[in-house]
Amino acid sequence: MSLKMPEIDAGMIARRPEIVAAMRVLLPEGSTSTEEDRLRVHKADGLTAYGELPLTSAAGEFYATHRAALVYCLLSNHLGRVRMKFCSAMMLAAALCMGAAVTYAAEDAVETHQRNAKDAAGLDFQGTLVRTCIAPVPLNPGGGGGGGGAQKVPDRSTWYAEPAKVYDNLYFLGTKIHSSWALTTSQGIILIDTLYNYAVEPEIVDGMKKMGLDPAQVKYVLISHGHGDHDEGANLMQQRYGAKIVMGGPDWDAIEKTTMPGGTPKRDIVGTDGQKITLGDTTVTIVATPGHTPGTLSFLFSVKDNGMPATVAYSGGTALQVIYRDIAKLNGYSDSEKRFAKLAAAQNATILMSNHSEFDNAYIKARLLAVRKPGEAHPFDVGTEAIARYLTVKSECALAQAERLKRPNS
Ligand SMILES: [Zn+2]
């Protein structure tokens, strides 16, 4: 059997428990801490450093002799039956060599992507993990918002949330479930997402007034994507206050074919990748992230926390229900998330926002601010590493679903 050495990425090693488990077998006696092992592997820079880790003599001998085969087995994502047998034998030999047992479960690509997503989700992004990895299929078949027809207004007590000032220049106007944000500038207000029709008046119009803001000062309305939970309020803002609506081209095309509750807004501005929406002293950069819908837009912009500037990465569309049977679109979604992650990192974005509280805990976090003491961290400021993890959850769950579709009888 000829063995091809795969490329090794230290981060990938650290995320794979079976490799960490095998490393533990091969590491010096007394080194039993999982965290220590993980850190060690994480610090390792590819195979060179991996090979330089001090080993006990028995393991060292085995490892030195069979390193290529072991590494191949550990990193191979698509183990065939023969390879699986071979690798199991290798792992058993390694384990026997140390008198220890190694649990080695061969996993397929779906499981690998799911595990990557689960590892990235940690304890802070479980809502996103559940919706995109565990339940990527429609929760309400035929749902998804944006369509016409009679709309049932849910009981107000199930969704109404008080508005909140979240940053010096950013106000939460969302419900318990969906978000809308007012970004104030030196020359008016930029509104981001507009909720369902039933919520626009109580949450956005009245919410702004409660916050001392004038809804007539809204000059732009940015719509992350054309689904009813984010775009139904747009028509009211356009008709009553003359605000210019910005939406991705394919989503304009889609909503123009429907009769939206609250009315379908007329096309103002087609948001495109890299476009900058500037109002007074504030600029929002649009990042096209096709996936959840073909015209989904994400945003990068700056806010101030007691005068200190920080950058927001606003992730525009999340669930996979519309595209969950389409491998090409799932791959496109994943590519969008990876690209947005790069751009957010390049801007040193530390604040994460989504348009569903299920994904970014906006409703909880907006209320947490009431007990924030001077000097305490801002609950929305999760840091660059967490934003990267969040976007990895989305990307990996889309890839898991794409791989799932390749399974027979999927
Ligand atoms: Zn949507």
- Model confidence pLDDT, tens digit, residues 51-85: 333 344 455 566 666 766 666 666 664 445 556 66
Supply the pLDDT for residue 70. Answer: 66
Supply the pLDDT for residue 108. Answer: 86
127 part of a folded domain: yes
* DSSP state string for 5-38: PPP--HHHHHT-HHHHHHHHHHSPTT---HHHHH
Supply the pLDDT for residue 51. Answer: 35
List residues bridging with 220 in a β-sheet.
190, 244
Supply the pLDDT for residue 93. Answer: 63
- This prediction's pTM: 0.73
Give distance in angstroms: CA of 235 to centre of ligand 1: 18
List residues bridging with 244 in a β-sheet.
220
144 part of a folded domain: yes
Question: What average pLDDT does the structure give for the chain?
Answer: 82
Give distance in angstroms: CA of 37 to centre of ligand 1: 41
Domain residues for the domain of 67 are: 10-107
The Cα 387–Cα 393 span in angstroms is: 10
Give distance in angstroms: CA of 49 to centre of ligand 1: 45
Say whether both 232 and 162 belong to one domain.
Answer: yes
Supply the pLDDT for residue 150. Answer: 52
Give distance in angstroms: CA of 402 to centre of ligand 1: 19
Give distance in angstroms: CA of 406 to centre of ligand 1: 25
Query: Is it the case that residue 365 has pLDDT exceeding 80?
Result: yes
Give distance in angstroms: CA of 368 to centre of ligand 1: 26
Say whether both 184 and 55 belong to one domain.
Answer: no
Q: What percent of the chain has pLDDT over 90?
A: 67
- Which of 346 and 1 is assigned the larger pLDDT? 346
Number of domains in the chain: 2
Give distance in angstroms: CA of 224 to centre of ligand 1: 9
Contact partners, residue 245, CB within 8 Å, separation at least 6:
220, 221, 223, 234, 237, 238, 265, 267, 268, 269
Query: Is it the case that residue 140 has pLDDT exceeding 60?
Result: no
Backbone angles phi and psi of 325, in degrees to 5: -105, 10
Burial group, residue 301, by CB count within 10 angstroms (0-12, 13-18, 19+): buried
Query: Is it the case that residue 134 has pLDDT exceeding 70?
Result: yes
Supply the pLDDT for residue 408. Answer: 82
Say whether both 44 and 138 belong to one domain.
Answer: no
Say whether both 215 and 77 belong to one domain.
Answer: no
41 part of a folded domain: yes
Query: Is it the case that residue 409 has pLDDT exceeding 80?
Result: no
What is the average pLDDT across 291-296?
Answer: 96
What is the average pLDDT across 283-301?
Answer: 97
Say whether both 193 and 130 belong to one domain.
Answer: yes
**Neighbour count for residue 200 (Cβ, 10 Å):** 24
Give the pLDDT confidence of 148-207 residue by residue, as tens digits. 445 688 999 999 999 999 999 999 999 999 999 999 999 999 999 999 999 999 999 999
Query: Is it the case that residue 241 has pLDDT exceeding 60?
Result: yes
Query: Is it the case that residue 120 has pLDDT exceeding 90?
Result: yes
The Cα 169–Cα 214 span in angstroms is: 14
**DSSP 3-state assignment of 233?**
coil
Give distance in angstroms: CA of 226 to centre of ligand 1: 7
313 part of a folded domain: yes
Say whether both 38 and 161 belong to one domain.
Answer: no
Give distance in angstroms: CA of 239 to centre of ligand 1: 23
The CATH number for 124's domain is 3.60.15.10
Angle at 371 between CA 366 and CA 376, to 5 degrees: 90
Report residues near ion ligand 1: CB below 5 Å.
227
Say whether both 220 and 96 belong to one domain.
Answer: no
Q: How confident is the model at residue 103 (pLDDT cuts 50, 70, 90)?
A: very low
Backbone angles phi and psi of 271, in degrees to 5: -75, 130
Domain end marker among 72, 107, 142: 107
